[in-house]
């Protein structure tokens, strides 16, 4: 997998935070759409060089290395990617795919593209991807403490629904409740809301279960001069050293709010009811211009009924509720997420970026992922840390999958029964991933289509035929 080398990090193309325009080569955009695309990208200080042929692309890259963006919606562009990758293995390449073509997204990952975007795409996301490539190009610089992936992948219908609610949440200052299983990317969704909003403040994270509960109030509100954290009869008091003050103009994201002491919950409910507080240092009232977002588990209503989460803070938080699906319910997003997580794992391990083989990616897409994205990230880090040679193959995944994913259940039975159970789940998942297309599923399995039919009869698997919108790219 290619990364940005020192020879391509010229200021006008790659330098993070530069006020100058960044330049990309763009393949596959119809001429009639180019003027509108240029205006859209120009707002993000992104300059486009339009590419109409493979020789033109190779010539441009020989003169100056730049990221290549390929729109895969046009017939023939996937083969263009393969041909260009063969001639320019070190070039950084991104793909744009339609939301209804998860098969193209998978093929783009297997072709060695650095990142795959789902349409619509703006210049800001491309610039963010370029900056991520800069981090990947410097092994060991990735932040191991951050979320499994800071990119929100919305290839699946379930995540496109999340994206719709996210856009609505970004346009208002109401409280937001992000619900989902542990490891499903709640903080990533919260950060995406913050990034899409008009505010200029920071994204501030507070874990309400991350330390001594007695100190949580001081962390959120700061300490009063007399050492007490209580508010006045009129307003709560906050200090400049508080996390709440840090979040002014931005977003305060609360993890594990149910674990917060009752008194802290009451103070939060009060300050977000009043939207004002007294600044300790000046004894003056200030506006609390903060978006409040909390990540919670799906059973949060039970916590309200049981009194573990106060009703008043729940009301302040639940102006907008966004339900984040488990990874097993958004399998179309797994190839893109796995590609991102594998690249990050390689950067942390200070090794060259690796690619997933087709069988390995097919297996990863079929596993249950009860721990969601965090479990997938752990598996890929384990594979990389234990020195997978070259790319990541099927054997590399199988070596650790039973320990790390619980893919094989312990329901009892013989080894033959356990193997049949796994094969049945695996084939059913692949058929779902390929929308019932037997040829594509057989290709992923590495077997002939006739053998797949025979397997399905033996395992008593039926399929539903689904159609894919749009022309199939070559």
For 47-75, write each residue's pLDDT tens digit: 899 999 999 999 999 999 999 999 998 88
CA 20, 26, 31: angle at the middle one, nearest 5?
A: 115
The answer to whether residue 254 is domain-embedded is: yes
Residue 274 located in a structural domain: yes
Q: Within this chain, do residues 165 and 125 fall inside the same structural domain, yes or no?
A: no
3-state secondary structure of 436: coil
Same domain, 199 and 294: yes
Q: What is the mean pLDDT of residues 210-235?
A: 70
Q: Report which secondary-structure segment, H or E, holds 177.
A: strand 176-179
pLDDT over threshold 60, residue 13: no
CA pair distance 466, 448, nearest whole angstrom: 21
CA dist 26 → 6, 72, 136, 166, 375 (Å): 22, 11, 22, 28, 35
pTM over the 0.75 mark: yes
Find the helix packing angle between 31-42 and 123-136, rounded to 10°: 70
Q: Are residues 162 and 114 part of one domain?
A: no
Distance of alpha carbon 114 from alpha carbon 353, whole angstroms: 10
Is the pLDDT score of 381 beyond 60?
yes
For residue 54, being part of any structural domain is answered with: yes
Please provide the average confidence, as pLDDT, over all residues in the chain.
83
Domain boundary among 323, 354, 373: 323
Q: Within a domain: residue 411?
A: no
**Phi-psi label, residue 185: left if phi above 0, alpha if psi -120 to 50, beta otherwise:** left
Domain that holds residue 26: 1-138
| Domain C-terminal end among 323, 345, 380 | 323
Helices (H) and strands (E) in the chain, counts: 19, 13
Q: Is residue 471 part of a domain?
A: no
Domain count within the chain: 2
> 172 and 280, same structural domain?
yes
In a domain, 329, yes or no: no
Nearest-CA neighbor of 94 among 65, 124, 61, 72? 72
- 7 and 80 assigned to the same domain: yes
Tell whether 33 and 124 lie within a shared domain. yes
Question: Nearest CA to 356 among 373, 378, 372, 340?
Answer: 340
HSE-up (13 A, CA, CB side) for residue 119: 15
CB 107 within 8 A of CB 116: no
- Can you list the alpha helix ranges (DSSP code H) found in 199-286? 213-221, 243-246, 262-274
Rg (CA), the chain: 25
Residues 189 and 129 in one domain: no
120 vs 41: CA distance, rounded Å: 12
- The residue with greater pLDDT, 417 or 308, is 308
Q: How far apart are CA 17 and CA 21, in angstroms?
A: 10
Is the pLDDT at 229 greater than 50? The verdict is no
What CATH code is carried by the domain that includes residue 258? 3.40.50.300
Question: Please, which residues have CB within 8 angstroms of residue 193's CB and are 6 or more apart in sequence?
Answer: 166, 169, 170, 176, 251, 291, 293
pLDDT digits (tens, 9 = 90+) for 388-423: 677 898 888 888 875 444 444 444 455 566 667 777
Residues with Cβ < 8 Å from 466, sequence gap 6 or more?
435, 436
pLDDT bin (cut points 50, 70, 90) of residue 146 is very low
At 92, which CATH number?
A: 3.40.50.2300
Whether 396 is in a domain gets the answer no
Verify that 130 and 165 share a domain, yes or no. Answer: no
Average pLDDT (190-213) is: 87
- Tell me: do 271 and 182 sit in the same domain: yes
Both 199 and 278 in a single domain?
Answer: yes
Pick from 11-15, 152-156, 238-242, 358-362: least confident: 11-15
Helix 438-445 vs helix 449-459: angle between axes, to the nearest 10 degrees?
A: 90
Stronger pLDDT, 122 or 175, i.e. the higher one: 175
Q: Are residues 78 and 175 in the same domain?
A: no
- Residue at a domain's end among 323, 346, 374: 323
Across the range 144-163, mean pLDDT stands at 75
Task: Answer yes or no: is 252 within a domain.
Answer: yes
Q: Going along 211-364, which residue ranges are E strands?
A: 236-238, 251-255, 276-279, 284-287, 291-296, 320-323
> Would you state the pLDDT for residue 149?
54
Q: What pLDDT is recorded for position 17? A: 43
Q: How far is CA 91 from the centre of its chain?
A: 23
Same domain, 217 and 255: yes
Band of residue 76 on the pLDDT scale cut at 50, 70, 90: confident
């Amino acid at each position: 997998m290619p990364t940005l080398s020192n020879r391509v990090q010229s200021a006008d193309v790659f330098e993070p935070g530069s006020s100058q325009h960044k330049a990309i080569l763009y393949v596959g955009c119809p001429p009639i759409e180019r003027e509108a695309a240029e205006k859209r990208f120009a707002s993000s200080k992104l300059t486009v060089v339009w590419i109409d042929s493979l020789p033109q692309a190779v010539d441009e890259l020989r003169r100056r290395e730049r990221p290549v963006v390929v729109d895969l919606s046009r017939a023939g562009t996937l083969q263009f990617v393969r041909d260009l990758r063969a001639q320019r293995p070190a070039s950084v390449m991104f793909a744009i795919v339609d939301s209804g073509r998860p098969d193209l997204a998978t093929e783009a990952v297997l072709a060695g593209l650095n990142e795959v975007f789902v349409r619509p795409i703006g210049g800001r996301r491309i610039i963010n991807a370029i900056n991520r490539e800069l981090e990947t190009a410097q092994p060991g610089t990735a932040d191991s403490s951050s979320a499994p992936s800071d990119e929100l992948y919305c290839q699946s219908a379930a995540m496109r629904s999340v994206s719709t609610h996210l856009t609505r949440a970004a346009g208002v200052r109401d409280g937001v409740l992000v619900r989902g299983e542990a490891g499903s990317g709640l903080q990533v969704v919260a950060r995406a809301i913050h990034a899409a909003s008009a505010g200029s403040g920071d994204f501030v994270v507070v874990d309400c279960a991350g330390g001594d509960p007695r100190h949580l109030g001081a962390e959120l509100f700061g300490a009063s001069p007399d050492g007490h954290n209580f508010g006045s009869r009129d307003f709560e008091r906050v200090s400049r050293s508080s996390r709440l003050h840090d979040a002014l103009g931005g977003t305060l994201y609360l993890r594990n709010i149910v674990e917060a002491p009752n008194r802290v919950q009451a103070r939060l409910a009060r300050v977000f009811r009043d939207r004002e507080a007294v600044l300790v240092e000046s004894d003056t009232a200030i506006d609390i211009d903060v978006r409040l977002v909390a990540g919670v588990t799906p059973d949060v209503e039970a916590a309200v009924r049981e009194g573990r989460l106060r009703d008043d803070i729940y009301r302040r938080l639940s102006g907008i509720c966004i339900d984040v699906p488990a990874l097993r319910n958004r399998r179309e997003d797994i190839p893109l997420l796995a590609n991102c997580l594998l690249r990050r794992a390689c950067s942390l391990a200070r090794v060259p970026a690796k690619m997933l083989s087709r069988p390995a990616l097919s297996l990863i897409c079929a596993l249950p992922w009860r721990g969601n994205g965090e479990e997938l990230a752990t598996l890929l880090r384990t594979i990389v840390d234990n020195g997978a040679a070259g790319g990541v193959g099927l054997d590399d995944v199988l070596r650790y999958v039973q320990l790390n994913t619980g893919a094989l259940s312990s329901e009892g039975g013989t080894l033959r029964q356990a193997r049949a159970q796994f094969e049945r789940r695996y084939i059913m998942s692949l058929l779902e991933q390929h929308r019932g297309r037997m040829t594509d599923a057989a290709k992923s399995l590495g077997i002939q289509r006739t053998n797949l039919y025979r397997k399905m009869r033996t395992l008593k698997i039926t399929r539903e035929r689904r159609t894919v919108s749009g022309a199939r790219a070559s």
